[in-house]
Amino acid sequence: MISNDQKERLSPIIIKLIKIKTNINNRAKKRGQFDNITVEDLIFLVKSQNGKCFYCKKDVKMYEDNRKYSDALSFDHKLSMGLGGTNTLNNIVMCCKECNQKRNTADQKKYPHYFNIYNVKATKIKN
């Protein structure tokens, strides 16, 4: 848990990524998946995809309230956890909110056009 004093020293971007990471991991745990994504993993995805949506290649932006904007930062499980996908770095991509909502739970075999835009191969950051 991060104290209020620590939060004051963190950038708004990192605070946003912490919230996103917590949301992703909590949803995974509800589905019985206990692999945890870290903030470092999310930063790695943002950097490796050059800030572009995995699906449509548009620049992804970070807003205080992401709900209002179609180009807002989002992360997506390429193979939905509901369809057997894992909560691991190799199954998560950065995308815009619009593409994440359009794709919903489409799987790679049924909707290959969503997955052929980038050929991003993620590997976990080693310290």
The domain that holds 65 is classified in CATH as 1.10.30
| Residue 127 domain flag | no
* Residue 54 burial (C-beta neighbours within 10 Å; 0-12, 13-18, 19+): buried
Domain interval for residue 65 = 4-114
**For residue range 18-44, what is the model confidence (pLDDT) as tens digits?**
888 999 999 899 988 888 899 999 999
Which of 101, 117, 126 has the alpha carbon at shortest distance from 49? 117
Q: How many domains does the chain have?
A: 1
Amino acid at position 78, single letter: K
**For residue range 59-113, what is the model confidence (pLDDT) as tens digits?**
988 766 666 676 788 899 888 888 788 999 998 999 988 888 887 766 566 555 5
| Residue 93 domain flag | yes
At which residue do the structure tokens 């620590």 appear? 6
Look up the pTM and report it.
0.71
Residue 8 confidence class, pLDDT cut points 50, 70, 90? low
